[in-house]
């Protein structure tokens, strides 16, 4: 699975800590920090008060999970491999759940 690099920000410290847990080549660590899901989820909950808000299965056979804080101040997108290893795909701020009825999608007639 090809993972996008993390940008600098509030998650940089967590990214560095998680990358140290994964015994992988340095090039892979530069792409995205990975560790067992339980460790990643616990760290995100403890440090940023993030919890899972969405989960989906990709066509490539891994799970994508979005974790967000209750106030939407932060979110993290994880790629969870069948082995249970979770990799940080993206982090950010200003998370908002959108109702399908609230925002029409152009070209769909909705």
Q: Under a CB-based contact definition with an 8 Å cutoff, are residues 48 and 72 in contact?
A: no
Whole-number pLDDT of residue 107: 74
How large a percentage of the chain has pLDDT more than 70?
65
More confident residue, 2 or 66: 66
Is pTM, for the whole model, over 0.85? Answer: no
Q: What is the pLDDT of residues 30-68, one digit of tens each?
A: 567 899 999 999 999 999 999 999 999 999 999 999 999
């Amino acid at each position: 699975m090809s993972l996008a690099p993390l940008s600098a920000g509030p998650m940089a410290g967590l990214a560095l800590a998680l990358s140290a847990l994964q015994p992988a080549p340095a090039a892979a660590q530069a792409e995205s920090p990975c560790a067992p899901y339980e460790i990643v989820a616990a760290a995100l909950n403890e440090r940023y008060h993030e919890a899972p808000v969405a989960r989906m299965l990709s066509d490539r056979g891994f799970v994508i999970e979005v974790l967000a804080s209750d106030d939407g101040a932060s979110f993290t997108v994880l790629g969870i491999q069948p082995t249970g290893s979770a990799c940080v795909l993206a982090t950010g701020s200003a998370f908002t759940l959108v109702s399908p009825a609230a925002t029409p999608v152009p070209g769909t007639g909705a």
